[in-house]
Amino acid sequence: MKAYLFGVTPVEEAFLKEWQDQHPDDEISYTHSPLTADNLELAKGFEAVSTQQAEPLTASDLEPLAAGGIKHLALRKVGADNIDLEAAAKYGITVANVPAYSPRAIAENGLTGAMYLLRKWGYYHRKMRRGDFTRSTELMSDEIFNQTVGIVGLGRIGAAAAEMYHALGARVIGYDPVYNASLEPFLDFADFETLIKESDIVQVHIPLTPENKGMFSANEFAKMKDDAILVNQSRGELVDTAALIVALKYHEIGGAALDVLEGEEKIFGRKFEDVGSLPDEYTELINLPNVVMSPHSAYYTKMAVKNMFFQSMTDIERTLSGKKAFFKVN
């Protein structure tokens, strides 16, 4: 097969070498840069492209890719909301993602953020930097087995999160449009309204759709407990960032653990020499003691990155050999 890989990281280069050792007849080229309108010519003459970016790929990007011979677009990630899937189908490009590379990696990251906030480490760090090592009454924390944890979205990642919190003794409730009886040993199903009202920790793993964009806004924050923790490991656009900042500053909720952010493609994956040029909303969030953030890195474990790479390459191979890709999304 002939494939061009965009946005390859130094970590992925080792996995690329391993793949090439196992598939010496494959013709593979790559760049560290993400796929954009300015460099899509690099893929001309290849049969497949692979990318991991958050930047949109529209019909105007996909048409010249198809004209250049591309039949398969491999996403080394779960989300495909930045891809015009209808246009890809129109131009004969199969799009496939990697939904099951390591659900535990993301679930664990969410649990870590929740525990950080539950035990009020952000407040303690702020006090200790000022030389204050006292334990004040308002910073007394709680233990996880006394908490009600609400999981929004019960796919592979949400299910893994439910199992983890259940194992720690928490009461777990879950919301998903699709009922899954296999999760009954770990949680009780609830409607969305009940979940946000009753939960001490709300962990979000639901895919982004046009219908649920901004599903966490001022209205939802007002219904949540004033010490509730919001954990978003899914997509930033599920949360109204401006409303979240207000809720955090005025203690309508207790804290937020964020691995994703609305408009994150302008920030995450980049290095800023001048931190003053960072967006105001990000700066305001990161300076709050009841917020902990990571740059869309919940997935970033050795096992997950390797699985993402090999699963995406396997689906390229399947499509180009006339078989159906395992994780086709269009």
The pLDDT tens digits for 205-259 are 999 999 999 999 999 999 999 999 999 999 999 999 999 999 999 999 999 999 9
User: Domain limits at 50?
Assistant: 2-101+302-320
Do 128 and 6 have their domain in common? no
pLDDT (0 to 100) of residue 195: 98
**Nearest partner of 238 among 270, 267, 269, 263, judged by Cα:** 263
Domains: count for the chain: 2
pLDDT (0 to 100) of residue 171: 98
Q: Active site includes 264?
A: yes
CATH for 121: 3.40.50.720
Q: Active site includes 156?
A: no
Do 63 and 150 have their domain in common? no
pLDDT over 80 at 115, yes or no = yes
Greater pLDDT, 266 or 90:
90
CA-to-CA dists, residue 178 to 35, 183, 204, angstroms:
34, 12, 15
Residue 249 placed within a domain: yes
3-state secondary structure the chain: CEEEECCCCHHHHHHHHHHHHHCCCCEEEECCCCCCCCCHHHHCCCCEEEECCCCCECHHHHHHHHHCCCCEEEECCCCCCCECHHHHHHCCCEEECCCCCCHHHHHHHHHHHHHHHHCCHHHHHHHHHCCCCCCCHHHCCCCHHHCEEEEECCCHHHHHHHHHHHHCCCEEEEECCCCCHHHCCCCEECCHHHHHHHCCEEEECCCCCCCCCCCECHHHHHHCCCCCEEEECCCHHHECHHHHHHHHHCCCCCEEEECCCCCHHHCCCCCCCCHHHCCHHHHHHHCCCCEEECCCCCCCCHHHHHHHHHHHHHHHHHHHCCCCCCCECC
Do 19 and 147 have their domain in common? no
pLDDT in tens, 19-42: 999 999 999 999 999 898 899 999
Residue 201 placed within a domain: yes
In the set 163, 237, 252, 264, the catalytic residue is 264
pTM of the model: 0.85
pLDDT (0 to 100) of residue 273: 87
Do 119 and 161 have their domain in common? yes
Do 66 and 151 have their domain in common? no
In the set 235, 237, 252, 262, the catalytic residue is 235
pLDDT band at 102 (very low <50, low <70, confident <90, very high): confident
In the set 252, 296, 317, 318, the catalytic residue is 296
Do 138 and 86 have their domain in common? no
Residue 126 placed within a domain: yes
pLDDT in tens, 81-91: 889 999 999 99
Residue 283 placed within a domain: yes
